[in-house]
Amino acid sequence: MKMMNSSMISEFVLLGLTNTWELELFFFFIFLLAYAAIMAGNLLIVVTITLDSHLHSTPMYFLLGNLSFLDMSVSTITTPKMIADFVRENKTISLWGCMAQMFFLHFLGGSEMTLLIVMAVDRYFAICKPLHYTTIMNHRVLRGSVLLSWAVGFVHTMSQMVFTITLPFCGPSIVDNIFCDLPLVIKLACTETYVLELLVIADSGLLSFISFILLLISYTVILVTIRHQSSGGLSKALSTLSAHITVVTLFFGPCIFIYAWPFSSFSVDKFLSVFYSVITPLLNPIIYTLRNQEMKAAMNRLRTQHVRSRKTF
């Protein structure tokens, strides 16, 4: 027993995207700029919604603020470590640091999937039941929906991590990814993990599948409903829906495409890791700000107020 404990590893080695120094330096600057844009864009959305009384009291923007917070959190868990590793020779992460990274990734990922469903339900009531919208989507329902999304994420991650943290790791300790990926880390355990691997696939796969089907049904019902509306109502509804459908497509599209296409596991793991930790959090604020007139107007109001307050002092 003492011999086994002494052979247990205390850290993992992350191989990252490349071993070439020139490419690592190039990726360092690219992802540094991307992370700065992620934080600035999503923080701008959160601050704008928080400070603007109109947006803060509107259900859709309340949920959007929470989505931006989740995007910032997911990127912060993975991207700074990845950026630092590009200029480090020793690309390691402690055992418990790895466990914490996997815990929060699945926690926030599960929460974001559930929040996207809540946002689809919100659009359904706004477009299909406009007269009852404010009554149904009141502040109590909104707070409860956000708490539900966090609860689903917590149950999702705990159902996997409660078994993972008890696994013995005695080598090898190389994770061929940019961060600790649960399926890859489980395979490094020095014990039989077939059942746990199936549990992880079933857990994550089932949550993703159910979320995607519910979103597909929701937006299909909405699109069928707005076909019978006036041309003015149809144009406004489609404009509102386009941003939401784009974000959902970006979230689930790559996963469906990659696993339906015969890429190697290397391409799958690293492409999805970069996409969900960097590209998606970067694109979401662009989609919601550039295509949304109310967000633009609120930002202009805040900028005007800021300029006036500076002139006053």
pLDDT tens per residue across span 249-292: 888 877 666 555 544 555 667 878 888 889 889 888 888 776 67
* Predicted confidence (pLDDT) at residue 307 exceeds the cutoff of 80: no
Assess whether pLDDT exceeds 90 at residue 74.
yes
Confidence of residue 86 (pLDDT cuts 50, 70, 90): very high
Q: What is the mean pLDDT of residues 40-58?
A: 89
Q: What mean pLDDT, rounded, does the chain reach?
A: 85
Strand order in the sheet with 92-94: 92-94, 11-14, 174-175
- The residues near 124 (Cβ < 8 Å, ≥ 6 apart) are 218, 221, 222
Q: Which amino acid is at 118?
A: V
User: Could you give the percent of the chain with pLDDT greater than 70?
Assistant: 86
In tens, the pLDDT along 213-228 reads 888 888 888 888 877 6
User: Would you state the pLDDT for residue 4?
Assistant: 44
For range 16-28, the mean pLDDT: 90
Lowest pLDDT segment from 24-33, 227-236, 250-259: 227-236
pLDDT confidence of residue 2? 41
State how far the alpha carbon of 214 is from the alpha carbons of 108, 143, 217, in Å.
19, 21, 5
CA distances to 67, 126, 151, 237 from 288, in Å: 11, 17, 26, 15
* Span 136-187, pLDDT tens digits: 999 999 999 999 999 999 999 999 999 999 999 987 889 988 899 888 899 8
- Which residue did the predictor score with more confidence, 233 or 140? 140
H-helix segments, the chain: 2-6, 21-51, 53-56, 59-85, 95-128, 133-136, 139-164, 182-186, 194-226, 231-259, 265-274, 280-290, 293-312
Please report the pLDDT score of residue 52 as a whole number. 86
pLDDT more than 90, % of the chain: 41
How many whole angstroms separate alpha carbon 146 and alpha carbon 124? 17
pLDDT at residue 240, as a whole number: 67
Give the pLDDT confidence score for residue 33 in this predicted structure.
Answer: 96
Q: What pLDDT was estimated at residue 80?
A: 95
Distances (CA, A) of 129 to 29, 55, 122, 173: 48, 20, 10, 54
The CA-based dihedral angle spanning residues 7, 173, 24, 38, taken in that order and rounded to the nearest 10 degrees = -110
pLDDT at 96: 94
Confidence of residue 312 (pLDDT cuts 50, 70, 90): low
The pLDDT of residue 236: 60
Confidence of residue 66 (pLDDT cuts 50, 70, 90): very high
Nearest one of 58, 57, 55, 33 to 44, comparing CA atoms: 55
pLDDT at 24: 92
pTM for this predicted structure: 0.88
